[in-house]
Amino acid sequence: MAEPMTGAPRRIRHRVGAALPENTMLVGKASSWATPFKAGELGVLRGSDDTRVFFRPADEEEALGMFRTLLEQPGIRAKVVADLRGKNLACWCPLDQPCHADALLEAANGADTV
């Protein structure tokens, strides 16, 4: 049985076949919260009016910065808060490396979301 969450929400490294702890959402590649920004890869974001923005982040730092900028959009920020606030977030990234889950945790639980 999973232990109840104590303290602030945190990032958890998910492993293949491992059960997610209680109050934890997977935000990895297969989830709706995966980052669309991959270092060195060409990507596209589509707007509601069918506009397209193409991008190719040079490195992981730039990719994470682009994701943080995306999370600042009011509609997206509101959905992050509604869906993820107070939850632990699980991703495949090593815990000693930057990860988009960190940006999601900040957006969902930051002081400016209260």
Print pLDDT tens along the chain (114 aa): 344 445 799 999 999 889 999 999 999 988 999 999 999 999 888 877 888 888 999 999 999 999 999 999 889 999 999 999 999 999 999 999 999 999 999 999 986 654
Distances (CA, A) of 25 to 10, 43, 45, 91, 114: 11, 25, 24, 9, 21
d(CA 28, CA 92): 6
**Dihedral sign, CA of 60, 56, 69, 84?**
negative
Unique residue bearing structure tokens 């509604």: 82
